[in-house]
Amino acid sequence: MSHKNNPVIAKKGPYVVELEEGKTYFWCTCGHSEKQPFCDGSHTVTDFVPLKFIAEESKKYGLCGCKHTKKAPFCDREHSKLD
C-alpha cells in the first residue's frame, strides 16, 4: 500500500471544518491519515510531508479531501476533474 509519489484521494470533495484564528494546523497531503483532513503521521510510508498552516480567522473552511488542490490546504474544486 505504499503510494510514494501520488496522494491517496481521501474524499472527492472538501472536508468542512471549524478552525480557530491563530491556531496552527497540519493538513494531510498524502491521503493516508485516519484523521482527515489533518495529519496523523501516516505519511511516514510516503514521500509526503504535512502542510503546516495557521487559520486567518475563526470560521468554517473547506479543506481539500482529494489532495490535488492547487490552493492547499483549501478546496479549489479540483476533485471535479478527477476520475
Whole-prediction pTM value?
0.91
Interatomic CA distance for residues 1 and 25, integer angstroms: 26
In tens, the pLDDT along 9-33 reads 999 999 999 999 999 999 999 999 9
Q: What is the pLDDT of residue 2?
A: 43
The verdict on whether omega for the bond into residue 73 sits within 30 degrees of 0, i.e. cis, is yes
Interatomic CA distance for residues 28 and 18, integer angstroms: 16
In tens, the pLDDT along 39-77 reads 999 999 889 999 999 999 999 999 999 999 999 999 999
Q: What is the pLDDT of residue 1?
A: 42
